Structure 1
Amino acid sequence: MNNTITFNNDKIVLDTNKLKRLTILEQHHGSTSVHPADAPPTAHEDTDIEDEDDDPNLTEQAPTTLLTPYPALVNALPGMTKDFFRNSLDDDTRRSFLHECPRNTSRQYAPPPLNDIEVSAQGQRIDRQLRDIQYRLSGLTRPIDLFVHDTIRTNKVDVDTALRFANTIHTLVSDVASFITQTRSDNICRDTGLKNAPANTPGSLPNAPLLDAGKVLEYTQLSQALRKAARNRSTQKNSGKSGGRQQQKSSDFRTTKQLDETSSDKRRGDSGNQSGFQKGKKKSGKKRSNSSNNNNHDEDQ
């Protein structure tokens, strides 16, 4: 139950339970004289206070506070209207931000190097990406160190210096966040087989997905078409090789057959010549035999 009181024409709403607790505490820590009105809290009242403090079902939580940008705030910090996670700086602009701030001789800017151990290619790639992020974060300390140095030296901070410092830090932090966004896009595209990183560009809808769905579909269809064309060319090439091998085999078969026929004809011709030679030889022997017989007959006569 709440009570409303008026103080200087302003209405103040009081929580009755909290008011009761304050009254009991004042009575407990108030005057040392014991009067019925100022008597210390009874055991029952102490139990009520402890029960409220130790109730596991009650959790104190700071109220959510929302800051609504207004024209003067937007003019002072224009980077808040840009996409914080997709607002990369080019190398020259990033260097110009950092070169305006001196290096702190007591600060380490280079991330720890990887040990000389056996690490997979994927592990080395992830380590390089994390080291790049660490290096970019270390650069953010340069404008911070310079701002603190100038504040100590001048013992004051004017509005222009504070706004310039806030814009510098906001821009550099957004650049690191955008670099992480690009790294995530590269990793996803590498794992999914996309050659390019179709990330959503600055100016996309709030909480837009990491990758542009339309570009992902376009690259996917293009990749599928290229793979299909490559398979078709491979099939045609293999088919041409197979047809060529069959033609070669047929040509080799015909050539072998012709050689066999030629060899067979030659063998038959040689056989015929040999047979004629043998027949002629027999006739010649027979003639010589007849001539010899005739001579013998003549000698006998």
Structure 2
Amino acid sequence: MDQQYMQIIQDLSEKVNALMAQREHQSTHQEQLMNVQALECDDPHIKTKAPMIEVESYPALIEAIPSMDEDFFRSPLEDEVRKDIIYECPKFISMNYQPPPLNDAAPPNAKKTDATLYSIQQSLAQLTRPLDHYIHEQLRQRRQVDPENDEYIVLVKTMRTMLAGLAS
């Protein structure tokens, strides 16, 4: 019975997230079409927002990233494939891959939610392994790495920061 409720909640959450994403996409698209007000405006109640830039798909981009045309939220990776990707990369000793412990004093419903969140946090932490391994391999091959200006390193650092933000 509790499993059914969890599934219903998860389904509803997915639908709400899809609706919110659709609404945000519509509002940002409308924002792009509006004129951006000049920065010289002296009205403190008016906020200037930069227009959003969108890139249309084109054949070379789709060839480079075939999954881009798929529904991102409806394209789950099989567990075996995901595990292969993660576990072929080593763990790094200084990295803590374990989220904070679960609250044993919480009521049963909260424990289930906490367990789900714990699992998500753990998965996000594991996703850093391929990123960290990439940097390690660059250093191991004695490639000169400029952490501030190397676009690949900046990308890895950005993705790592975003994963940490999601897991927090």
**What TM-score does the superposition give when structure 2 sets the normalisation length?**
0.57
* Counterpart residue type for residue 129 of structure 1: T
Partner of 1:10: none
Give the % identical residues. Answer: 40
Which aligned pairs between 1:216-227 and structure 2 lie closer than 5 A?
A: none
Q: Read off the aligned partner of 1:73 and give its amino acid letter.
A: L
* Inter-partner Cα distance in structure 2 for 1:62 and 1:106: 39
2:133 equivalent among 122, 146, 149: 146
Going from structure 1 to structure 2, the CA distance change for 1:104 and 1:53 (only over 3 Å counts) comes to same
- The superposition leaves residues 206-225 of structure 1 with CA deviations (integer Å, 9 ceiling, x where unpaired) of xxxxxxxxxxxxxxxxxxxx
Find the residue that maps to 1:66 and give its secondary structure.
coil
Decide which structure has the larger Cα Rg and report it. Answer: 1
In the other structure, the counterpart of 2:71 is: 83
Structure 1 residues 129-144: aligned runs within 5 Å: 129-144=116-131
Give the CA RMSD over aligned residues. 3.0
* Equivalent residue number for residue 99 of structure 1: 87
* Alpha-carbon distance in structure 2 between the residues aligned to 1:63 and 1:71: 26
Report the Cα offset of residue 116 of structure 1: 3.6
Whole-Å Cα distance in 1 between the matches of residues 58 and 104 of structure 2?
54
Note the residue ranges of structure 2 that are not aligned, 5 or more in a row. 1-37, 146-151, 164-168
**1:169-208 aligned within 5 A:** none
2:59 pairs with 1:71: yes
Shift of the 57–111 alpha-carbon distance from structure 1 to 2, 3 Å rule, reads closer
Greater helix share, 1 or 2?
1
Q: CA deviation at 1:129?
A: 0.7
Deviation at 1:90, TM superposition (A): 2.1
Tell me the distance in 2 between the aligned counterparts of 1:156 and 1:87.
37
Counterpart contact for 2:91–2:129, Cα < 8 Å: yes
Distance in 2, matches of 1:73 and 1:83, equals 16
Q: 1:121 to 1:58 in 2, by over 3 A?
A: closer
Letter in 2 for 1:65: I
Pick the aligned partner of 1:128 from 105, 112, 115.
115
Give the SS at the match of 2:134.
helix
What letter matches 2:128 in structure 1? T
How many matched pairs?
112
1:81 Cα shift? 1.4
Shift of 1:53: 5.0
Decide whether the 8 Å contact of 2:104 with 2:111 is kept in 1: no
The CA deviation string for residues 208-265 of structure 1, in whole angstroms up to 9 with x for no partner, is xxxxxxxxxxxxxxxxxxxxxxxxxxxxxxxxxxxxxxxxxxxxxxxxxxxxxxxxxx
C-alpha deviation, 1:120, in angstroms: 1.9
TM normalised by structure 1 equals 0.33
Q: CA deviation at 1:54?
A: 3.1
Residue 49 of structure 2 is matched in structure 1 by 61
Q: Which amino acid aligns with 1:66?
A: E
| Separation (CA, whole Å) in 2 of partners of 1:98 and 1:83 | 22
Where 1:69 maps in the other structure, the secondary structure is: coil
Q: Would you say the 8 A contact 2:97–2:126 is kept in 1?
A: yes
Q: Is the 8 A contact 2:99 2:121 kept in 1?
A: yes
